[in-house]
Amino acid sequence: MRADVSSPRTIPRPASAGSTATSWSCCSPSRDLRAGRSRAASTARRSSATTSRSSPGPGGSLHERGPGARQVRATPARGGALVSASFPRAGSGAQPERGVARGSAEGRAFLDPEVVARLAHLDVRARLVVEGFIAGMHRSPFHGFSVEFSEHRPYMPGDPLKNLDWKVWARSDRYLVKQYSEETNLRCHVLVDLSGSMGFKSPRAAMSKIEYAQSLAAALAYLMLHQQDAVGLLLFADRPLRYVPARAVRSHLDVILKSLAELAPQGRTRLGPALHELAERIKRRGLVVLCSDLMDKPADVLSGLQHFRHRHHEVVLFHILDPDEIEFPYTDSATFVDLESGERLTTEPWEIARRYRERIAAWTDHYRRSCREHRIDYVALDTRTPFDRALLAYLEKRARLM
């Protein structure tokens, strides 16, 4: 059977015309474990998360949904201790009392999802990620991103050399430093996929895909507001579930965090309609950030993203997968249960492992190439990826827009 990005099947069995591939969880054939809807979103308020394993599902046309999100339900992890830390107010110049070191390596160690997953509340997670990110940088990512040139002043010992206006020096032999005044100059909307497949978490991952997306969205909102950018939020599954308009006031962060924490994964994935609806709703051009496992028809996803580009928005796509969805480490007989429909299939993973890995690689490569063609920033993440990679991608995109 020929692998085809536009019409993939992870398990070689006939599929009815127009059928959609699904998100599968895996369980032992001797145990009757129900997949159902994941309650992963509620674990943002708990220190332990439900563990699960991932594996591919049966046929169905994977150009409908993509090849992945196949999962095994297991018992909740126990005994996870909370990590406590104190954080400075943004802009205070103070360092956290513990944990986030000034150096790059030490600071970035605290962006590891395994550490972030132990924090009980999204606001603490967001502050840990962003403050740790800043501490891990040799120079603050805040500087120079949300500013416009104001005036010159004489150079003083201790001023950063990067602020010297070398063109003025070449003309006049005077050392003058460029000063900036802050302004709100970017409007960003963060889109978070809440479909059932996002609730998956394998034993090797510190958090589920939805927890990773929630933490990433919270950190991005925190970073944007502290750069005086306006940020909004859209939560969706098979339909838009909640829309929070973009605002630039600091108190808006509480609204975004509350919205992220309140809703659990539910329903099927239908990215296309949600993207088109939001593209029509947002009038002012800005930046759109999508956090999703993309378990939908690639044509529908890309059509929605192109709608944003047509309206002159810049787009960053964070493609979030579980490591087991990428590597498919299963060897024993298993029953795969669709997290979104409840459909079950028993198969031998070793029979499909090679083909599955080929198809997942072709699927992600299809998104990567298509995004490049349409000038969309594509960032592949798994739930073990430190958050600084995503934050850097956002800052690089933002810097190009300024």
For 316, phi and psi rounded to 5 degrees?
A: -120, 125
Looking at the structure, tell me whether residues 129 and 93 fall in a common domain.
yes
Answer yes or no: is 31 within a domain: no
On whether the CB atoms of residues 55 and 22 are closer than 8 A, the answer is no
Looking at the structure, tell me whether residues 175 and 267 fall in a common domain.
no
Look at residue 401 in the predicted model and tell me its pLDDT.
72
Residue 262: C-alpha distances to residues 49, 122, 147, 221 (Å): 16, 11, 34, 16
Answer yes or no: is 19 within a domain: no
Answer yes or no: is 373 within a domain: yes
- Structural domain count of the chain: 2
For 340, phi and psi rounded to 5 degrees?
A: -105, -30
Looking at the structure, tell me whether residues 291 and 239 fall in a common domain.
yes
Looking at the structure, tell me whether residues 217 and 122 fall in a common domain.
yes
Answer yes or no: is 343 within a domain: yes
38 burial class (0-12, 13-18, 19+ CB within 10 angstroms)?
A: buried
Looking at the structure, tell me whether residues 167 and 200 fall in a common domain.
no
Write the CATH number for 308. 3.40.50.410
DSSP letter, residue 397: H
Which residues partner with 381 through β-bridges? Answer: 320
Answer yes or no: is 241 within a domain: yes
Which residues partner with 151 through β-bridges? Answer: 179
Answer yes or no: is 76 within a domain: no
Looking at the structure, tell me whether residues 175 and 192 fall in a common domain.
no
Answer yes or no: is 53 within a domain: no
Looking at the structure, tell me whether residues 95 and 152 fall in a common domain.
no
Answer yes or no: is 10 within a domain: no
pLDDT tens track, the chain, 402 positions = 334 444 333 333 333 333 333 445 444 333 333 333 344 344 434 433 333 333 333 333 334 455 543 344 433 333 333 222 222 333 333 333 333 332 333 333 445 676 666 666 666 666 667 666 656 543 343 444 444 555 677 877 767 777 788 888 888 888 888 765 444 468 899 999 999 999 999 998 989 999 999 999 998 898 888 777 899 999 998 888 999 999 988 889 999 999 998 888 888 888 888 899 889 988 888 899 999 999 999 999 999 999 999 999 999 999 999 999 999 998 888 888 888 888 888 889 999 899 999 999 999 999 999 999 999 999 999 998 888 788 888 878 777 776
For 371, phi and psi rounded to 5 degrees?
A: -65, -40
Domain hosting 207: range is 82-138+185-401
Among 126, 158, 182, the domain boundary falls at 182
* SS3 (DSSP) at 48: coil
Looking at the structure, tell me whether residues 364 and 252 fall in a common domain.
yes
Task: Give me the DSSP letters along 188-203.
Answer: EEEEEE-SGGGG---T
Looking at the structure, tell me whether residues 175 and 218 fall in a common domain.
no
Sequence-separated (6 or more) residues with CB below 8 Å from residue 17? none
Among 182, 202, 237, the domain boundary falls at 182
**Please, what is the end-to-end C-alpha distance for the chain in angstroms?**
49
Looking at the structure, tell me whether residues 268 and 396 fall in a common domain.
yes
Looking at the structure, tell me whether residues 367 and 309 fall in a common domain.
yes
Looking at the structure, tell me whether residues 122 and 259 fall in a common domain.
yes
